[in-house]
Structure 1
Amino acid sequence: MIRNVGVALLLGGSTVLGGAAAVPAHAAPADGLAEDLDAVLRDGRLQGAAVDVVVRDARTGEFLYDRDGGGQVTPASNNKLQTAAAAFGILGPGYRFRTTVSVKGGNLYLKGTGDTTMRAAEYDRLAAAVAAAGITEIKGDLVADDTWFGAKRTPDDWDPADLQYAYAGQTSALTVSPNDDFDAGSIEISLSPAAREGDPVRAGLTPGTGVVKIDNRAVTGPPGSPSTLAVDRSNGANTIVITGSHPAGAAPTSVLRTVEGPTLYAADVFRRALKAHGVRVSGTTERGRTPPGARTVATRTSMPLSRLAKPFLKLSNNVMAETLVKAIGRKVRGEGTWAAGLPAVTAHIRRLGVDTSQVTMTDGSGLSRGNRTTAVQLSTLLRNVRKRPWFPAWYSALPVAGQPDPLTGGTLANRMRGTAAAGNVHAKTGTLTGVTALSGYVTDPRGRMLIFSSVFNGYSGGAPKDIEDEIAVRLATGGDGARAALRRMAPVDGGHLESTWTGGLRP
Structure 2
Amino acid sequence: MSAPPAGSASPAPARRRRLLPVVLATVLMLVLAGVGLAVVRPGPVGEWLGDDPGAPQAAARPPEPAPVAVLAAADPNAPLPTAAGVRAALGPLVGVPALGDRVNVSVADVATGQPLYGKGEDAGTVPASVTKLVTAVTVLAARGSGYRIPTRAVAGATPGEVVIVGGGDPTLAVDKNGFYPGAARLDDLAGQVKTALGGTKPTKVVVDSTLYSGPVHEPGWDSDIPDGGYGGAVTALMVDGARSDVPQAKKDHENGNHAADRVSQPDLAAGRSFARLLGVPADAVTKGKAPAAGADATAGAPGTELGVVSSLPMVRLVDIMISDSDNLVAEALARQVALARNETASFAGGGKAMDAVVAELGLPADELSLADGSGLSRSNRISPSLLTDVLALAGDGTRPDLAAIFGGLPVAAWSGTLADRFEGPSRAGAGLVRAKTGTLTRVHAIAGLVSTADGRLLSFAVLTDDAPPDGLTAARAALDRISATLTTCGCR
TM-score by length of 1: 0.71
1:452 alignment partner in structure 2: 460
CA distance in structure 2 between the aligned counterparts of 1:379 and 1:206, rounded to whole angstroms? 34
1:295 alignment partner in structure 2: 304
Q: How far apart are residue 45 of structure 1 and its match? A: 2.2
Per-residue CA distance 1:338-380 (angstroms, 9 max, x = gap): 3332211001112333322222211111111111121112112
Aligned with 2:389 (options 380, 391, 402): 380
1:53 alignment partner in structure 2: 105
The amino acid across from 1:39 in the alignment is P
CA distance in structure 2 between the aligned counterparts of 1:37 and 1:343, rounded to whole angstroms? 35
Q: How far apart are residue 422 of structure 1 and its match? A: 2.7
Residues 1:291 and 1:474: Cα distance change in structure 2 (over 3 Å): same
Alignment of 1:267-278 (within 5 A): 267-275=271-279
CA distance in structure 2 between the aligned counterparts of 1:400 and 1:70, rounded to whole angstroms? 26
Q: How far apart are residue 9 of structure 1 and its match? A: 6.6
2:87 alignment partner in structure 1: 34
Structure 1, 448-457 or 438-447: larger mean CA deviation: 438-447
Q: How far apart are residue 397 of structure 1 and its match? A: 2.0
Residues 1:90 and 1:7: Cα distance change in structure 2 (over 3 Å): closer
Greater share of residues in helix: 2
CA distance in structure 2 between the aligned counterparts of 1:109 and 1:30, rounded to whole angstroms? 60
Structure 1, 109-118 or 321-330: larger mean CA deviation: 321-330
Determine whether 1:477 maps to 2:488.
yes
Higher relative contact order (CA 8 A, sep 6+): 2
2:171 alignment partner in structure 1: 117
Alignment of 1:261-340 (within 5 A): 261-275=265-279, 280=280, 284-293=284-293, 294-333=303-342, 335-340=344-349
Determine whether 1:185 maps to 2:238.
no
- Contact 1:101–1:109 (8 Å) recurs in 2: yes
- Contact 1:169–1:186 (8 Å) recurs in 2: no
Per-residue CA distance 1:140-160 (angstroms, 9 max, x = gap): 421111122225312232233
CA distance in structure 2 between the aligned counterparts of 1:7 and 1:83, rounded to whole angstroms? 28
Q: How far apart are residue 97 of structure 1 and its match? A: 0.9
Determine whether 1:76 maps to 2:128.
yes
Identical-pair percentage: 29
CA distance in structure 2 between the aligned counterparts of 1:450 and 1:23, rounded to whole angstroms? 15
Per-residue CA distance 1:246-266 (angstroms, 9 max, x = gap): xxxxxxx99732322211111
The amino acid across from 2:135 in the alignment is T
Residues 1:334 and 1:362: Cα distance change in structure 2 (over 3 Å): closer
Alignment of 1:150-189 (within 5 A): 150=213, 152-177=215-240, 184-188=241-245
Unaligned runs of 5+ in 1: 16-20, 178-183, 191-204, 208-252, 404-408, 481-507
The amino acid across from 1:313 in the alignment is I
Residues 1:457 and 1:292: Cα distance change in structure 2 (over 3 Å): closer
Per-residue CA distance 1:47-71 (angstroms, 9 max, x = gap): 5x20111111012111212222223
Q: Number of residue pairs matched?
A: 396
Residues 1:434 and 1:334: Cα distance change in structure 2 (over 3 Å): closer
Residues 1:384 and 1:36: Cα distance change in structure 2 (over 3 Å): same
Aligned with 1:411 (options 405, 413, 417): 417
Q: Cα RMSD between the aligned structures?
A: 3.2
Q: How far apart are residue 385 of structure 1 and its match? A: 2.5
Q: How far apart are residue 134 of structure 1 and its match? A: 6.5
- Contact 2:376–2:440 (8 Å) recurs in 1: yes
Q: How far apart are residue 429 of structure 1 and its match? A: 0.5
CA distance in structure 2 between the aligned counterparts of 1:255 and 1:61, rounded to whole angstroms? 38
Q: How far apart are residue 98 of structure 1 and its match? A: 0.7
CA distance in structure 2 between the aligned counterparts of 1:311 and 1:283, rounded to whole angstroms? 34
Secondary structure of 2:244 counterpart? strand
2:10 alignment partner in structure 1: 8
